[in-house]
């Protein structure tokens, strides 16, 4: 059975910048995925998946349909290059200026596990054989709620920023994670994990 | 029997506030305090000792304060020594942390206080003494009664018969000599998770004799007497003494 590798977008596959790193992040995402595929020692046994909160449209910085089209094109190109297998994006925000994206109870916004759970099901993966790499504690909590076996947190000044959803409802009393300094270091952690899984 | 056969996971308790070590702990959690001129930390030394003694067992460390500092440091540790971290956004306290950990899928767990600076040779001797699966094991050391926080009594085979907390009041009212040595808990415990997970722990409950009494009510608890240096870093004075000892080692 294949293993699921869930990857956050901003701060993991491409740089996290204030006005939406995804807008200029394609080449970096492509490079990150090429590097991952070549350095995880049995990458052919992994399903590569992106789970990302994207709020540019919710913040009215880009028209919603335009942003949805952009995001769809962004990931479909990566899939066509055989660097990515699938993705799930949450466009919601509890305080969205764009009313159609305002939601306090969507199941997808991390740290909720909705995006991970739907991809686990879609690709027939088990949570025990899957892992996530994120740059925020909210990625890790989503992975924990989904029961993922390994949660790798990249170090950075915003690693422990809790977002609105977490602040509103978290009941998590302990959060398990493996730290990594950057994506190449995360690969070392993943390869170490693969020895026993 | 080799010790590594009966340890399924190791938990370093690293979520203490370190309030008696301020201002040092304003910028560094206690386990990350440096103990020698090479910059070795308390946690770094423990990780090396644990990995040498139990190379196959996964290592965990809980933490609460200065989380960015903790993961930055741990991400710099080589991956074979790097522990899985357990972040507690709300500090649980040692006993609750241990009980929560016991709910994971590990049978026999070794818990080590994250403020201990320990002798290498004694650590290795201790690890070989852990030879009872599904039994509890506590490390004890001799201490003057007036300074001890707990008193452990054992039978002639080294099995614990009783354990109690010693308060300062009790010590001052104690009829015998205050210089009398008693066996005191050392901050290192091995236990079966299947029993520990049923203990009802309170938030902020210290890893006190109550939990050991709970074990004693159900299983045998073997003691191991620690006979070499062991510093529990709870003040700038003990940190200073540990650093002097560490410089001798270099």
Predicted-complex ipTM score: 0.92
Q: What is the CA radius of gyration of chain B?
A: 17
Determine the average pLDDT of the residues in B15-39. 89
Helix ranges (DSSP H) in A40-94? 64-80
Residue A51 pLDDT exceeds 80: yes
A185 contact residues in B (CB cutoff 8 A): 75, 79
Name which of A13, A88, A82, A86 is nearest A44 in CA terms.
A82
Closest CA in chain A for residue B75? A180
Question: Which class is B3-134+187-208+231-249 in CATH?
Answer: alpha beta
- Binned at pLDDT 50, 70 and 90, residue A165 comes out as low
Closest CA to A171 of A93, A112, A94: A112
Mean pLDDT of all residues belonging to chain B = 90
Instruction: List strand residue ranges (DSSP E) for chain A, in order.
Output: 3-7, 46-53, 86-90, 130-134, 150-154, 175-180
Mapped onto helix, strand or coil, the DSSP state of residue B156 is coil
Sign of the Cα pseudo-torsion (A8, A14, A15, A18, in order): negative
- Sign of torsion over alpha carbons B119, B178, B158, B214: negative
Q: Which of residues 109-138 of A touch B (CB under 8 A)?
A: 137
Cβ of residue A181 closer than 8 Å to a chain B Cβ: yes
Confidence at residue A106, expressed as pLDDT on a 0 to 100 scale = 86
Q: Among candidates B137, B82, B85, which has minimal Cα distance to B109?
A: B137
Q: Are B79 and A159 in contact (CB < 8 Å)? A: no
Closest alpha carbon to A101 in A56, A160, A137: A56
Query: CA A12 → CA A195, B78, B169, B177, distances in Å?
Result: 23, 21, 56, 63
pLDDT band at A97 (very low <50, low <70, confident <90, very high): confident
pLDDT of residue B207: 84
- Three-state DSSP class for B87? strand
Q: Which domain holds residue A103?
A: 3-196
Q: A174, B84: Cβ pair inside 8 Å?
A: no
Decide the pairing of beta strands A3-7 and A46-53. parallel
Domain ranges of chain B: 3-134+187-208+231-249
How many structural domains are present in chain A?
1
pLDDT band, very low/low/confident/very high, at A67 (cuts 50, 70, 90): very high
Structure tokens at B179: 């210089």
Distances (CA, A) of B124 to A132, B49, B158, B247: 36, 8, 19, 20
> Of all helices (H) and strands (E), which one includes residue A167?
helix A164-169
| pLDDT value at A172 more than 70 | no
B71 touches A at CB < 8 Å: yes
Buried b / exposed e along A50-70 (16+ C-beta atoms within 10 A): bbbbbbbbbeeebebeebeeb
Cβ of residue A170 closer than 8 Å to a chain B Cβ:
yes
What is the C-alpha to C-alpha distance for residues B191 and B211, in angstroms, rounded to an integer? 10
Tell me the pLDDT tens digit for each residue of B188-208. 999 999 999 999 998 888 887
Q: What CATH number is associated with residue A110?
A: 3.40.50.1000
Within an 8 Å CB–CB cutoff, is residue A197 touching chain B?
no
- Per the structure block, which two tokens stand in for B139? 């490390």
Owner of token pair 């730290």: A179
pLDDT at B1: 43
- pTM for the whole structure: 0.93
What does the DSSP 8-state code read for residue B31?
Answer: G
Contact B107, B8 (CB under 8 A): yes
pLDDT band at A93 (very low <50, low <70, confident <90, very high): confident
Separation CA B115–CA B27 (nearest Å): 16
SS3 B80: coil
């Amino acid at each position: 059975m294949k293993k699921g590798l869930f990857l956050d977008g901003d701060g993991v596959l491409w740089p996290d910048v204030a006005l939406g790193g995804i807008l200029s992040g394609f080449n970096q995402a492509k490079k990150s995925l090429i590097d991952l595929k070549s350095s995880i020692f049995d990458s052919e046994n992994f399903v590569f998946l992106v789970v990302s909160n994207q709020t540019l449209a919710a913040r009215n910085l880009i028209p919603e349909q335009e942003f949805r089209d952009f995001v769809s094109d962004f990931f479909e190109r990566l899939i066509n290059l055989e660097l990515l297998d699938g993705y799930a994006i949450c466009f919601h925000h509890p305080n969205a200026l764009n009313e159609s994206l305002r939601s306090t109870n969507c199941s997808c916004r991390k740290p909720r596990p909705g995006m991970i759970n739907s991809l686990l099901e879609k690709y027939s993966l088990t949570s025990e054989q899957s892992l996530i790499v994120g740059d925020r504690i909210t990625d890790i909590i989503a992975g924990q709620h989904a029961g993922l076996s390994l949660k790798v947190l990249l170090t950075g000044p915003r690693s422990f920023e809790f977002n609105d959803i977490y602040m509103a409802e978290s009941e998590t009393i302990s959060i398990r994670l493996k730290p990594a300094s950057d994506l190449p270091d995360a690969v070392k952690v993943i390869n170490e994990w693969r020895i026993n899984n | 029997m080799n010790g590594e056969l009966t340890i399924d996971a190791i938990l370093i308790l690293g979520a203490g506030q370190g309030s008696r070590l301020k201002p040092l702990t304003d910028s560094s959690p206690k386990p990350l305090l440096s103990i020698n001129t090479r910059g070795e930390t308390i946690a770094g030394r423990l990780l090396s000792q644990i990995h040498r003694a139990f190379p196959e067992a996964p290592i965990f460390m809980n933490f609460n304060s200065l989380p960015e500092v903790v993961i930055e440091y741990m991400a710099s540790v080589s991956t074979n020594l790097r522990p899985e971290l357990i972040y507690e956004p709300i500090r649980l306290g040692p006993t609750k942390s241990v009980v929560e950990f016991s709910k994971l899928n590990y049978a026999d767990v070794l818990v080590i206080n994250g403020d201990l600076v320990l002798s290498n040779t004694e650590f290795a001797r201790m690890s070989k003494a852990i030879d009872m699966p599904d039994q509890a094991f506590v490390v004890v050391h001799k201490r003057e009664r007036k300074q001890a926080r707990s008193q452990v009594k054992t039978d002639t085979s080294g099995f614990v018969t009783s354990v109690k907390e010693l308060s300062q009041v009790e010590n001052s009212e104690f009829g015998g000599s205050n210089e009398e040595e008693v066996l005191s808990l050392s901050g290192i415990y091995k236990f079966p998770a299947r029993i520990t997970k049923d203990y009802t722990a309170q938030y902020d409950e210290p890893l006190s004799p109550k939990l050991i009494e709970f074990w004693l009510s159900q299983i045998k608890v073997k003691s191991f007497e620690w006979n070499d240096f062991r510093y529990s870093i709870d003040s700038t004075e003990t940190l200073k003494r540990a650093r002097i000892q560490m410089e001798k080692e270099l």
